[in-house]
């Protein structure tokens, strides 16, 4: 609309207005472009940090490399949970079950074997194979893998609310300007084009032109801060969801605990010995997979004297990696005794596979419960003898809690976020770990709520302090039930089977070491293990929400103040208090410092944030009306006491509107007094610089009537006095609103 106003200035031969408005338009465009460029750079940096990695064979060694560095001819290993990094020709391994739904829309997984092609961007659901890279990047069959990752600029509920505010202000401005046009055209017979030019720039003053830039810069700055603290935001809008999160469902392993398993106990059964268990456990493990359980067993075997040489007498012919559905790994081994199979996995699964299960069931369960009471995770091993599996024994693995887990959970509770632990481990283990980190004792299993009615299940899940013996599909159900109780839910996950729950959650969080599939589905990806990163994310997101709310209050208040004051002055007093050029100057000078709100110093809320529209409208309307009253008072002083000429009076009012407008943001930025906490340095100095510029324009009269330093000094004293009084009135109004609520 500024462009139209500039064009009309040319049509009616007001060349001075045309030149000034055009220059201001160019300046506004440059500032807007710079801010958007800055936000885009931050987003691009986050995308680079989210880039996929691949296990590639280079110089005879398996190493982790960014997927973008792969070239045709590379040999890579893919397994369950990986996003396929390039078009691959499958080489060694039994089979892969591949989800190609992100590429083809086909929901059923596809089975692929040697010589088959796995396409870039698909997700490995089951299996593990070596493969040859045949195409990369845009040369792949389906193009870049970015189709898998959700669009980073998706609008959230909060953004929609703020955009609705913008639409409301435009409609309000349109109605008031229409009244001004009718009065001027029908009753005062002012030339239509002159009135239209002024009306257009008046609408410009009311439109929140900085809205998109403030949003993108605020969230990009917040996301960059989070990335430095180990939380990479893959979807910027998720920051706002984190601000409102009141329940966090946290994985035990790797988040509450360290995910550094130690083999603490060996329990052989029958005539098996401890060394036998270590040999069989090592053969059913793969070092290159970097699995924490496998690493703990292999490390213990290396530390045991003379065992390494004995393990080398065996050769693994076939290996089936761990599958979260069947909950075990399997290896076909050739050794001095001939060919046999080894299975390693959940005790109840391994026991069920064993031919001697009935005679040892009670003893196994007692041992598992004994380990669980100490916080140990039990792992079973069985060995094939005469084509039947025989239970060989148990491993007791201990994953200690992070040193700061208990303190972090206490901090989360102080922020009114209820932490619920989620684990597939035995109930006794879950209760022991929960007691160590200060969670409650009400730990339930999946069986306690899965078969219940929705209303019963919702009550059970809401009151639970944690969940044990859950499968990935139960996580989805937990999130769904909590959301039905109107909670904003965060969920952590790391595996391909966690993807539905991560997508379902309001804030899906992929923990450190998560699979590519989990990272792609998550809103936030952790690079550091532990709960403390989540707390940082909650605090930062609430700060961002606070800044956005401050902007909304400021923007509505400014529109009410400027629009109602100017329109009322025209309609009632038949006086244009400012010129079209002044309005454009006000719009640009007021929007320039508001960009710095992304860097403002704010306190995070101690409760989850929510969009309280009633409070925002009440406060902004109050500030706007006070602004109108104060503006008419300065008009009265200038016209009736100082007897200023019309041109000088307009410059006098312009400076008051400019100085007071910048001060309004300091009032709107928090519920307390403007000094608690003090504004950020960038916001403060941006406001000071623009106020000084407005003062110089008014004092020396750049394309407006000069007012001199004496009148300018009076305006500053008047505006600052009104600012302090209004700030105290704001604090009182918040106290009244809080009491009523």
Two tokens, residue 7: 């064009």
Read out DSSP for 205-243?
A: HHS-TTHHHHHHHHHHHHHHHHHHTTEEESSTTHHHHHH
Q: Any idea what the Cα angle at residue 687 is, between residues 683 and 688, rounded to 5°?
A: 115
Asked whether the beta carbons of 512 and 292 are under 8 A apart, the reply is: no
- E strand segments, 587-723: none
Catalytic residues: 251
Strand duo 507-510 + 328-335: pairing: unpaired
Q: Any idea what the Cα angle at residue 426 is, between residues 439 and 242, rounded to 5°?
A: 45
Q: What is residue 335's DSSP assignment? A: E
- Find the helix or strand (DSSP H, E) in which 199 lies: helix 192-206
Read out DSSP for 152-195?
A: TT---HHHHHHHHHHHHHHHHHHHHHHHHHHIIIIIS---HHHH
| Long-range CB contacts for residues 54-63, cutoff 8 Å, separation at least 24 | 54/78, 54/85, 54/86, 55/288, 57/130, 62/288
The residues with which 129 forms a beta bridge, in sequence order, are: 78
Return the SS3 of 721: helix
Q: At what angle do helices 211-228 and 157-182 cross, to 10 degrees?
A: 160
* Torsion angle of the four alpha carbons 249, 252, 254, 259, in this order, in degrees rounded to the nearest 10: -170
Read out DSSP for 500-558?
A: HHHHHSSEEEEPTT--HHHHHH-SEEESS-SSHHHHHHHHHHHHHHHHHHHHHHHHHHH
Q: Any idea what the Cα angle at residue 204 is, between residues 194 and 174, rounded to 5°?
A: 80
Two tokens, residue 471: 């499968």
Asked whether the beta carbons of 287 and 299 are under 8 A apart, the reply is: no
Two tokens, residue 738: 């809080």
Q: What is residue 609's DSSP assignment? A: -
């Amino acid at each position: 609309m500024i462009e139209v106003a500039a064009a009309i200035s040319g049509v009616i031969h007001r060349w001075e207005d045309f030149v000034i408005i055009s220059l201001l338009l160019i300046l506004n465009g440059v500032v807007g472009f710079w801010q958007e460029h800055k936000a885009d750079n931050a987003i691009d940096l986050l995308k680079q940090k989210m880039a996929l990695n691949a296990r590639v064979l280079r110089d005879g060694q398996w190493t982790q490399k960014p997927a973008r560095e792969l070239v045709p001819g590379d040999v890579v290993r893919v397994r369950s949970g990986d996003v396929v990094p390039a078009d691959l020709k499958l080489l060694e391994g039994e089979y892969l079950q591949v989800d190609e739904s992100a590429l083809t829309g086909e929901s059923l997984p596809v089975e692929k074997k040697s010589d088959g092609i796995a396409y870039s961007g698909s997700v490995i659901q089951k299996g593990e194979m070596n493969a040859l890279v045949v195409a990369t990047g845009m040369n792949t069959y389906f193009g870049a893998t970015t189709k898998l990752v959700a669009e980073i600029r998706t609008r959230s509920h909060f953004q929609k609310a703020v955009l609705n505010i913008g639409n409301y202000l435009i409609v309000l401005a349109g109605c008031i300007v229409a009244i001004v046009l009718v009065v001027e055209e029908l009753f005062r017979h002012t030339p239509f084009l002159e009135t239209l030019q002024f009306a257009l720039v008046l609408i410009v003053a009311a439109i929140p032109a900085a809205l998109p830039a403030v949003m993108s810069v605020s969230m990009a700055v917040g996301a960059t801060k989070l990335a430095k603290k180990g939380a990479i935001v893959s979807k910027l809008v998720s920051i706002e969801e984190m601000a409102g999160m009141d329940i966090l469902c946290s994985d035990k392993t790797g988040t509450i605990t360290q995910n550094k398993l130690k083999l603490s106990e060996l329990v052989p059964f029958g005539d098996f010995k401890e060394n036998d268990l270590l040999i069989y456990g090592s053969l059913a493990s793969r070092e290159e997979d970097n699995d924490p359980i496998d690493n703990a067993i292999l490390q213990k075997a290396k530390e045991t004297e003379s065992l390494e040489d004995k393990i080398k007498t065996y050769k693994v012919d076939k290996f089936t990696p761990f599958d979260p559905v069947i909950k075990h790994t399997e290896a076909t081994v050739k050794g001095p005794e001939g060919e046999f199979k080894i299975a390693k996995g959940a005790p109840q699964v391994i026991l069920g596979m064993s031919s001697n299960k009935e005679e040892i069931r009670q003893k196994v369960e007692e041992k598992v419960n004994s380990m669980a009471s100490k916080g140990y995770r039990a792992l079973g091993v069985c060995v094939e003898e005469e084509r039947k599996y025989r239970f060989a024994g148990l491993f007791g693995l201990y994953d200690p809690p992070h040193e700061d887990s208990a303190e972090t959970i206490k901090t989360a509770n102080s922020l009114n976020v209820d932490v619920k632990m989620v684990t597939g481990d035995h109930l006794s283990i879950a209760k022991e770990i929960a007691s160590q980190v200060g969670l409650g004792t009400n730990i339930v299993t999946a069986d306690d709520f899965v078969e219940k009615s929705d209303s019963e299940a919702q009550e059970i899940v809401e009151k639970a302090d944690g969940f044990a013996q859950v499968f990935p599909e139960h996580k989805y159900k937990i999130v769904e039930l909590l959301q039905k109780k109107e909670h904003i839910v965060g969920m952590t996950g790391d595996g391909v089977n966690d993807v539905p729950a991560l997508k379902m959650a309001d804030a899906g969080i992929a923990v450190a070491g998560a699979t590519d599939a989990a990272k792609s589905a998550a809103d936030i990806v952790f690079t550091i293990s532990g709960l403390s990163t989540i707390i940082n994310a909650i605090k930062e997101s609430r700060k961002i929400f606070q800044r956005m709310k401050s902007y909304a209050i400021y923007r509505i208040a400014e529109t009410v103040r400027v629009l109602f004051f100017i329109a009322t002055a025209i309609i009632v007093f038949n006086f244009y208090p400012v010129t079209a050029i002044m309005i454009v100057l006000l719009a640009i000078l007021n929007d320039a410092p508001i960009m710095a709100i992304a860097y403002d110093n704010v306190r995070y809320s101690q409760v989850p944030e929510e969009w309280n529209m009633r409070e925002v409208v009440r406060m902004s309307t109050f500030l706007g009306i006070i602004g109108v009253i104060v503006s008419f008072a300065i008009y009265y002083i200038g016209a009736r006491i100082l007897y200023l000429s019309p041109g000088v009076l307009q410059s006098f009012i312009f400076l008051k509107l400019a100085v007071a407008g910048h001060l309004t943001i300091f009032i709107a930025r928090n519920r307390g007094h403007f000094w608690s906490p003090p504004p950020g340095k960038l916001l403060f100095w941006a406001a000071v610089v623009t106020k000084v510029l407005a003062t110089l324009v008014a004092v020396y009269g750049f394309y407006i009537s000069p007012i001199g330093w004496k009148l300018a000094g009076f305006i500053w004293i008047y505006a600052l006095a009104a600012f302090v009084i209004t700030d105290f009135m704001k604090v009182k109004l918040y106290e009244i609103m809080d009491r009523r609520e």
